[in-house]
Chains A and B, each alone.
Chain A
């Protein structure tokens, strides 16, 4: 029983980070209708940015850790905006397939750049935030998991506020619904697309930072598996649906951790993709997505 609780805590913590990444896929899909495969490498860049700022902050303090995370988020928001401007914006009128292939290219470019700049060998992530473990009713709880979940809840709350309550968030939803109609309202659609990339990338960077905090080892391919899983989470929740992406991430985190702790642990990654296939077969719009006619 204690072990199950422990695994659930672990699963929720991993799932929270998947949720943060998945929201970036879903936000970008919302405004541009394509999967930004370079998103997982922005997550990796976030971890490295957190590492480098964290080292300079001389780790283990709340203020220092928070500064490192916010710096990583800001840097990656910029990175996301630059990627969109340079790689995707020139292709606005082209087919979705062209953009998708470009995204895969950008992903590989970022991984290679990561190798070039940070080196190919994994490096240890410093103790950026204070961490302890405590025992409650036979369950060993790491404060890291509580930090991960707490930060995620705060970030999701902030995102919900931006998307639902602010003018720029409303404009994001308007652009997601119809670019032309949004432009006819005077909404500068390209600027809103930039904001969307910035937001999604900042969340991916926060996830990258938290991931490296929980699993303190960073390499240029860090984003590949979490990114893929979060992509599945976004599809699972209904691509384009923010709440769905968050729930999908949480669900996959828990399922993955439970499978990993069982005797079928070698099947962990397969389970994620079996879920993807099942969803695509039986509920292509995702768990929360409404079947929606593709716009012409």
Chain B
């Protein structure tokens, strides 16, 4: 589904990713774990085209997408829910969702996707006419995910979906993430602070340390790995 090969990227004079390689297979949930500043968000930004890939290769469904403009990458079926949610707080919930379907032409398909999104996140239906800025953090995260789903993606990248959200809502959002993956066969790349929770729903994980992938393994063995537990899972 997604192959990243020797990717480097950064900001101005700084290189934040020093040639990382990893992949995500169809139907899979994969977690990218790493400390604050390791380069997780940078990885997602380079894949979705928000920042330039300085070298290396990014292939999506076999096609090279490195340095395509972001709106074309979205059009190929790759969605990115950014860190901090970035909902359009000046737009209503419904307008946000409609923007998610910006590239969709088929009205009937848009309506049916909207029904699915409301089915996954019923709260959004209740708040349809409300300005997105008035939603709680958890509801904004639902909107950010729902908005991404409106583009009918084949692959979804979620950057810290649990950040700053009440624990009860985090649990419910994760249940929905698993459900989307299971029902729609949507491949998911998950970046999470809460690595424990993320690895439990994932098949595999990649460990990112200051711009380099140091370990790639099935989620179960990462959960059991003493070094990983010590560094990222707050365990012993």
Q: Is A180 an interface residue (CB 8 A)?
A: yes
Q: Which residues of B contact A5 (CB under 8 A)?
A: none
A167 within 8 A of B: yes
Q: Are B102 and A184 within 8 A (Cβ)?
A: no
With both chains docked as a complex, state the minimum distance between the C-beta of B67 and any C-beta of chain A, in angstroms: 14
Question: Closest CB-CB distance, A269 to chain B, in whole Å?
Answer: 35
Q: Is the CB of B151 within 8 A of A185?
A: yes
Q: Assuming A185-B102, A185-B147, A187-B99, is B79 touching A173 (CB within 8 A)?
A: no
B48 at the interface (CB under 8 A from A): yes
Flag if B91 contacts A188 (CB, 8 Å): no
Residue on B with the closest CB to A189? Answer: B71
Main secondary structure of the interface of A (DSSP, over half): helix
Determine whether A174 belongs to the interface, using a CB cutoff of 8 Å to chain B.
Answer: yes
A178 within 8 A of B: yes
Is A170 an interface residue, CB under 8 A from the partner?
yes
CB of A171 within 8 Å of the partner chain: yes
- Point out the residues of chain A lying under 8 angstroms from B50, CB to CB: 180, 183-184
A180 to B82, CA, bound (A): 9
Q: Which of A171-193 contact B (CB under 8 A)?
A: 171, 173-174, 176-178, 180-189
In the complex, A178→B88 CA distance in Å? 7
Minimum C-beta distance from B110 to chain A (A): 11
CA–CA, A186 and B73, complex, Å: 8
Which of chain B's residues has its CB closest to A182's CB? B99
Bound-complex Cα distance A23 to B90 (A):
18
Chain B: number of interface residues, binned into ranges: 20 to 34
A184 near B88: Cβ-Cβ < 8 Å? no
Q: Once the chains are docked, how many angstroms separate the CA of A189 from the CA of B103?
A: 13
- The residue among A178, A186, A187 with the most chain B CB atoms within 10 A of its own CB is A186
Known A170-B91, A184-B50: A178·B103 in contact at CB below 8 Å: no
Task: Report chain A residues within 8 Å CB of B147.
Answer: 185
Most-contacted residue by chain A among B75, B79, B88, B98 (CB, 10 A):
B88
Please name all residues of chain A whose beta carbon is closer than 8 Å to the beta carbon of B48 when the two chains form the complex.
Answer: 184
Q: What's the count of A-B pairs with C-beta under 8 Å?
A: 66
Known A174-B91, A177-B91, A184-B48: A167·B98 in contact at CB below 8 Å: yes
* CB nearest to A164 among chain B residues: B95
Residue of A nearest to B151 (CB): A186
For the complex, what is the distance from the CA of A170 to the CA of B101, rounded to whole Å? Answer: 12
Q: Hey, which chain B residues are within 8 Å of A183, CB to CB?
A: 49-50, 69-71, 74
Which of chain B's residues 88-146 have a Cβ closer than 8 Å to chain A? 88-91, 95, 98-100, 102-103
The verdict on B206 contacting chain A, using a C-beta distance below 8 Å, is no
Is B215's CB within 8 Å of the partner chain A? no
Q: Closest approach, in angstroms, between the C-beta of B99 and any C-beta of chain A?
A: 5
Instruction: Give the CA-CA distance A187 to B75 in the complex, in Å.
Output: 10
| Cβ contacts under 8 Å, A187 to chain B | 71, 99, 102
Task: Confirm or deny: B86 has a beta carbon within 8 angstroms of a beta carbon on chain A.
Answer: yes
Q: Mark B31-45, 1 if CB is under 8 A from A, else 0.
A: 000000000000000
Nearest opposing residue in chain B for A170, CB measure: B95
B80 at the interface (CB under 8 A from A): yes
**Interchain CA distance A178-B74 in the complex, whole Å:** 16
The minimal Cβ–Cβ distance linking B161 to chain A, given in whole angstroms, is 15
Q: Are B102 and A181 in contact, with the CB atoms below 8 A? A: no
Q: In the complex the two chains form, what is the Cα distance from A151 to B68 in whole Å? A: 43
Contact of A177 among B71, B74, B89 (CB under 8 A): B89
Knowing A183-B50, A184-B80, A188-B71, the reply to whether A177 touches B102 (Cβ < 8 A) is no
Bound Cα distance A189, B88 (Å):
15
Q: How far is the CB of B86 from chain A (nearest CB, A)?
A: 4
A183 to chain B, nearest CB (A): 4
Collect the chain A residues with CB atoms within 8 Å of residue B91's CB: 170, 173-174, 177
Chain B nearest CB from A245 CB (Å) reads 16
B159–chain A nearest beta-carbon distance, Å: 11
A residues with a Cβ closer than 8 A to B are: 167, 170-171, 173-174, 176-178, 180-189
Q: A171-B99, A184-B80 are in contact. List 11 more A-B contacts (CB 8 A).
A: A170-B95, A173-B91, A173-B95, A177-B88, A177-B91, A181-B82, A183-B69, A183-B74, A184-B86, A185-B100, A186-B151
Q: Provide a sorted-by-A list of 6 A–B residue pairs whose CB atoms are within 8 angstroms.
A: A167-B102, A170-B91, A170-B95, A174-B88, A184-B82, A186-B102
Of all A-B residue pairs in the complex, the 6 with the closest CB atoms, nearest first, are: A186-B74, A181-B86, A183-B70, A186-B103, A186-B102, A185-B99
